[in-house]
Amino acid sequence: MEDTLTEPLAGCATLALEDGRVFNGRAAGARTRRGGEVVFNTSITGYQEVFTDPSYAGQIVCLTYSHIGNVGTNLEDEESSKPFIEALVVREFSPLASNWRSTESAQQYLEEHGVPVIWDVDTRALVRHLRSVGALRGVISTDGTPAEQLIAEARALPSMAGQELAGRVTVAKSYDWTRGSLSLSTPLAAAATAGAKAATNISAVAAAAAHPRPNGEAASRARYRVVAYDFGIKRNILRLLVDHDCDVTVVPATTSAEDVLALKPTGVFLSNGPGDPEPCTYAIDNIRKLEGRVPIFGICLGHQLCGLALGGRTFKLKFGHHGSNHPVKNLRTEKVEITAQNHGFCVDPDSLPSSEVEITHLNLNDHTNEGLRHRSLPLFSVQYHPEASPGPHDARYLFDDFVKLMKDHKPGK
């Protein structure tokens, strides 16, 4: 007999991969079909942060943690204004939400944003397949499209290699960000809780999240003017920059180096983002123009762009790094950090000029590059996410390093 808790999500769904393998399951989320590169994420918390990470544009995400949706969704945990995943694959998907912070269920949230979900599938088998053959293009259908057609559509999708996606997810125009890290005692959190009972409050929270009001204390003590390139930036990066006494202006991905320098920044931040870094030639050229003129800190795609700007090369990983439990060794301190990661491309450390660039971090799973620093110019970058929300937080010190770099290279010093 069908369990009453899962009965509302009855309906067929299909995941078809380009190599012809098909997974059948139940449908949730939106009734549609979406395609993209299929990857897996090993995090056991923070599914809403995964949904809303712009770095997942163009990708279908399989979450390896078995039970998803039980704590619902809320406006505080969004890393951007909407989900960027193409579709979702999970073992168990809950139609109910049970958490005091929840404003709506994951089912409602994904349905509203047009994201289809396939669940009640063997995610272990899918992950083992992707680890064996590598990330594959796929299509998820919750609208009854035959599997044969889905396989053909998957094969017709563009490969992630060669795709410039930062321009697709970047902000349309510059804006200032002034809100620091969230606290459960802030008015925003209180409004989110009340929003579960009153739709008017939900609208108020949405407006606050999209257009953050100045945090008076953080704004009054800001001493470093940071211009952040938005290649797909996550909100927790901006919150942590504000926490570290930065006055932040976010600019579109294609903003020229000249326009950035006209803002008289103390430092420039290069954000995470989706797709292949090599087609982002506009960004690479701008970084070269900014090198040595202002301190630079890059993460994820920003790190890869730094590597390319410094004369290196990048390559595509077999199935990428996606999760919040990746061990990275800091070669300068000999300490090991547990890190959050989300990337499918990597900088080839052997392609970098060793006389100019120091390799600072190493992935202990596959020994790929995780960080670099210029030996004479104020520039450093890491491949992983030091701003990780909900965690881990081992690498938060990198924001302190950025502040120190800006302090040491401040005009007049």
**Catalytic residue ranges:** 300, 385, 387
Bridge partner residues of 181 (DSSP): none
- Give the span between the Cα atoms of 365 and 328, in whole angstroms: 8
Structure tokens belonging to residue 100: 């005091």
- Give the span between the Cα atoms of 221 and 216, in whole angstroms: 9
Amino acid at 256: S
Count Cβ atoms below 10 Å from residue 156 Cβ, excluding itself. Answer: 11
Q: Which residues of 375-408 are buried (b: 16+ CB within 10 A; e: fewer)?
A: eebbbbbbbbbbbbbeebebbbebbeebbebbee
Parallel, antiparallel, or unpaired: how do β-strands 267-270 and 22-29 relate? Answer: unpaired
- Give the span between the Cα atoms of 314 and 395, in whole angstroms: 23
CB 121 within 8 A of CB 87: no
Phi, psi dihedral angles at 236 (to 5 degrees): -70, -25
Structure tokens belonging to residue 372: 């670099």
- CA separation (Å) from 332 to 148, 267, 336, 413? 52, 23, 11, 26
Residues 6+ apart with CB under 8 A from 197: none
- Give the span between the Cα atoms of 297 and 307, in whole angstroms: 12
CB 203 within 8 A of CB 192: no
Alpha helices in 2-144 (DSSP H): 47-51, 106-112, 123-133
